[in-house]
Chain A
Amino acid sequence: MSLVDKRGRLFGLLNVLDLLMVLLVALVVAAAYVKLSPVHRPAPHTLLPENCVWADVVLRMPGEYAWMAEITAPGMLRRDPRSGEVDAEITGEQVLENGDLAVSLRMLAAKDAQGRLVADGQALLPGRYMRIITENCVLSGMVYRVSLAEGPAP
Chain B
Amino acid sequence: MSVWADSRFRQWAQSANDGSAFLAWWQRGAGAARIFENAFGYRFVQRKIHFLLPLAVAVAVGLAVLFGPWILLPLGLIAAMSYLWPRAGLAALPAAYLWSPEFALAGVGNELAFLRIDHALVLGLLAHLCRRAAFRDTGLYVPLFLFLAASVTSALLGLLRGYVATPEYALMYCVQLLYLAAGFVCAYSLGHRLPRAVPYAWALAMVAFAAYGIAETRFPLEVAEGLRYRSYERGFFDRQANHAAYALVLGGLTGLGMLAHSRWRGLGLALVLLCLAGLWGTGSREGVAALAAGLAAMLLLRLPALLWAAPLVFVLLCMALPAGFWDALLRPDGSFFDRILHWKAALATVDQHPVLGLGLGARHRRFYDSQYIMLLAETGLAGLLFFSWWVAALARALWHGARAPGASVFAAAAFCALVALCVQSLACVGFVVTMMAGPCYWLAGVSLARQRELP
User: Does B162 have its Cβ within 8 Å of any Cβ on chain A?
Assistant: yes
Distance between B230 CB and nearest chain A CB, rounded to angstroms: 11
Distance between B55 CB and nearest chain A CB, rounded to angstroms: 12
Q: Which of B28-67 contact A (CB under 8 A)?
A: 31-36, 38-42
Q: List 19 A-B contacts (CB under 8 A).
A: A3-B146, A6-B32, A6-B33, A7-B33, A8-B39, A15-B39, A19-B145, A19-B149, A26-B156, A27-B171, A27-B174, A34-B159, A42-B165, A126-B363, A127-B342, A127-B364, A128-B363, A129-B166, A129-B364
Given A23-B153, A27-B156; A7-B333 close (CB under 8 Å): no
A31 touches B171 (CB 8 A): yes
Q: How many residues of B contact A (CB 8 A)?
A: 47
User: Does B152 have its Cβ within 8 Å of any Cβ on chain A?
Assistant: yes
Distance between A30 CB and nearest chain B CB, rounded to angstroms: 5
Contact partners of B162 in chain A: CB under 8 A: 42, 123
Q: Which of A1-44 contact B (CB under 8 A)?
A: 3-10, 15-21, 23-24, 26-28, 30-32, 34-35, 42
The number of inter-chain residue pairs (CB within 8 angstroms) is: 117
Spell out B's residues near A (CB within 8 Å): 31-36, 38-42, 137, 141-142, 145-146, 148-149, 152-153, 155-156, 159-160, 162-163, 165-171, 174, 178, 238-239, 333, 335, 342, 345, 362-364, 366-368
Main SS class of interface, A: mixed
Docked complex Cα distance between A14 and B442 (Å): 29
A6 touches B34 (CB 8 A): yes
* 0/1 string, A29-66, CB within 8 A of B gives 1: 01110110000001000000000000000000011100
Q: Which of A9, A21, A129 has the most CB of B within 10 A?
A: A129
Distance between A23 CB and nearest chain B CB, rounded to angstroms: 4
A8 touches B142 (CB 8 A): yes
Q: Which of B33, B159, B163 contacts A4 (CB 8 A)?
A: B33
A23 touches B152 (CB 8 A): yes
Contact partners of B148 in chain A: CB under 8 A: 20
A27 touches B342 (CB 8 A): no
Q: Which of B33, B174, B342 has the most CB of A within 10 A?
A: B33
B178 touches A24 (CB 8 A): yes
Given A17-B42, A19-B149, A127-B363; A31-B159 close (CB under 8 Å): yes
Docked complex Cα distance between A142 and B342 (Å): 13
Distance between B379 CB and nearest chain A CB, rounded to angstroms: 13
Please classify how large the interface on chain A is, using the bins under 10, 10 to 19, 20 to 34, 35 or more.
Answer: 35 or more
A27 touches B152 (CB 8 A): yes
Going nearest first, the 5 A-B pairs with the smallest beta carbon separation are A127-B367, A8-B35, A127-B363, A122-B165, A31-B167
Distance between A72 CB and nearest chain B CB, rounded to angstroms: 21
Q: Knowing that A6-B32, A17-B42 are A-B contacts, what are 16 other residue pairs whose CB atoms are under 8 Å apart, sorted by A's residue number?
A: A7-B34, A16-B39, A16-B141, A17-B141, A18-B41, A23-B152, A27-B159, A30-B167, A31-B170, A42-B165, A123-B165, A125-B363, A126-B367, A127-B342, A127-B366, A142-B366
Given A23-B152, A126-B342, A126-B345; A16-B366 close (CB under 8 Å): no
User: Does A98 have its Cβ within 8 Å of any Cβ on chain B?
Assistant: yes
Docked complex Cα distance between A32 and B171 (Å): 10
Docked complex Cα distance between A21 and B182 (Å): 13
A128 touches B163 (CB 8 A): no
Docked complex Cα distance between A27 and B152 (Å): 7
B41 touches A142 (CB 8 A): no
Contact partners of A123 in chain B: CB under 8 A: 162-163, 165
A121 touches B165 (CB 8 A): yes
Contact partners of B145 in chain A: CB under 8 A: 16-17, 19-20
> Nearest residue in B to A43 (C-beta to C-beta)?
B162
Distance between B20 CB and nearest chain A CB, rounded to angstroms: 19
Q: Which of A4, A27, A98 has the most CB of B within 10 A?
A: A27
Q: Which of B32, B36, B335, B345 contacts A98 (CB 8 A)?
A: B335
User: Does A70 have its Cβ within 8 Å of any Cβ on chain B?
Assistant: no
